[in-house]
A = this chain, B = another copy of it.
Amino acid sequence: MEGQRRRARQADVARLAGVSQATVSAVVNGRGPETGIPEQTVQRVLEAVRQLGYAANPAARSLRGKRNRLLGVHTFESIFPVDQLDFYHEFLVGIEQQAVADGYDLVLFASTEDLDGRRRIYTDGMNRLALADGSVLLGVEPGSTELARLAAEGYPFVHIGRRTVPGTEISWVGADYASATREVVGRLAALGHRRVAYVTGPDRMEVFLDKEAGYRAGCADAGLPELMYVTSQLDPAWVDAAHAGGVTAVLAENEPLARQLVAALAERGMAAPADMSVVVLVTMTESGWSSLRIPRNEMGRGAVKMLTRILAGSGDPGDQHHLLPCGLPDDHMIGPPRS
């Protein structure tokens, strides 16, 4: 009926309550007592607020340098993917839980997507993230200039996943792939495996390096040789070669590689874990494989916790790191080596 009524602002509330805009500001920010505004006036103002449905304009507040109790979530791809490989969901569960606990609302940055479906932090030379008090960054992103710039600006953010950018301090929450991988190698060694291969794709990023380091450490612990293969092509020929080389267990960096491996084994009439133990380091769904459990929920929660701590001003903004333990794999596809 009333149609396009403008959003109420403090001036409207002030008029209705018969006070000045400054008084309204004091009241709605709870500085009533402190500023010596009597209870009666406070109530009058709040009543006007209620009648008009007033809520502070976040843009105006942050322009003035105030907090909005908004945390940003920036992903470098769509948050809610169309396919079922729902990489982000578990992280978001954790993020949401902690945001609820800390009384923050979340801003999902969707407006910054360009035509290729990639999302940038800076679009048209403007940092839309600044609307939120701070942000959680999430996803695999190749370029680091945006991160460096964001850090240089002093914008508070926490990256999910270990991330280093030379010359820049970046806060992150990561999963301790290194220790977990190391332990997995140890477990395989304890089962009697003497040759454990590690297969990874051609991409090189922090997380991959961690696992690689863990693998090397595990081999060193158990006195095993390092057998590292960088490939994206695990065919039956590879299986033959591995078999000939005495390999009885394989750590596969990701699920596609593991799937290729299992297919290749099948083609040679072999199966896991009877003929070959197979451990996947990163899976989307954690079903059916012996895989590390990435503590996604805890990482999401931890990132928000770290961010709110940064916002509260305790701790240096750009130099906090938190490594969470990975769960170790189930035994589906792990067994002792074939004699």
Q: Which A residues between 51 and 77 are near B, CB-CB below 8 angstroms?
A: 53-63, 68-70
Is there contact, CB below 8 Å, between A149 and B53?
Answer: yes
Q: Which A residues between 101 and 160 are near B, CB-CB below 8 angstroms?
A: 103-111, 113, 122, 124-131, 149, 152-155
Known interface pairs A49-B125, A125-B46, A125-B54; A68-B59 also in contact (CB < 8 Å): yes
Q: Which A residues between 77 and 105 are near B, CB-CB below 8 angstroms?
A: 78-82, 86, 89, 92-93, 96-97, 99-100, 103-105
Is there contact, CB below 8 Å, between B58 and A78?
Answer: no
Residues of B contacting A63 with CB < 8 Å? Answer: 57, 59-60, 63
CB-CB nearest in chain B for A81: B93
Residues of B contacting A155 with CB < 8 Å? Answer: 53
Is there contact, CB below 8 Å, between A111 and B105?
Answer: yes
Is there contact, CB below 8 Å, between B82 and A99?
Answer: no
Q: Is A259 an interface residue (CB 8 A)?
A: no
Is there contact, CB below 8 Å, between B108 and A154?
Answer: no
CB-CB nearest in chain B for A112: B105
Is there contact, CB below 8 Å, between B113 and A100?
Answer: yes
Residues of B contacting A106 with CB < 8 Å? Answer: 107-108, 110
Known interface pairs A69-B111, A154-B4; A80-B56 also in contact (CB < 8 Å): no
Residues of B contacting A49 with CB < 8 Å? Answer: 125-126
Q: Is A36 an interface residue (CB 8 A)?
A: no
CA distance A153 to B54 in the complex (A): 10
Is there contact, CB below 8 Å, between B107 and A105?
Answer: yes
Q: Is A28 an interface residue (CB 8 A)?
A: yes
CA distance A108 to B304 in the complex (A): 15
Q: Interface 1/0s, chain A 222-246, versus B by CB < 8 A?
A: 0000000000000000000000000
CB distance from A133 to the nearest CB of B (A): 9
Q: Is A31 an interface residue (CB 8 A)?
A: no
Q: Is A15 an interface residue (CB 8 A)?
A: no
CB-CB nearest in chain B for A61: B126
CB-CB nearest in chain B for A124: B56
CA distance A49 to B153 in the complex (A): 12
List 8 A-B pairs, minimum CB-CB distance, nearest first. A55-B130, A56-B126, A53-B153, A59-B62, A80-B93, A59-B63, A106-B108, A5-B154
A residues neighboring B (CB under 8 Å): 1-5, 7, 28, 46, 49-50, 53-63, 68-70, 78-82, 86, 89, 92-93, 96-97, 99-100, 103-111, 113, 122, 124-131, 149, 152-155, 167, 169, 313, 316-318
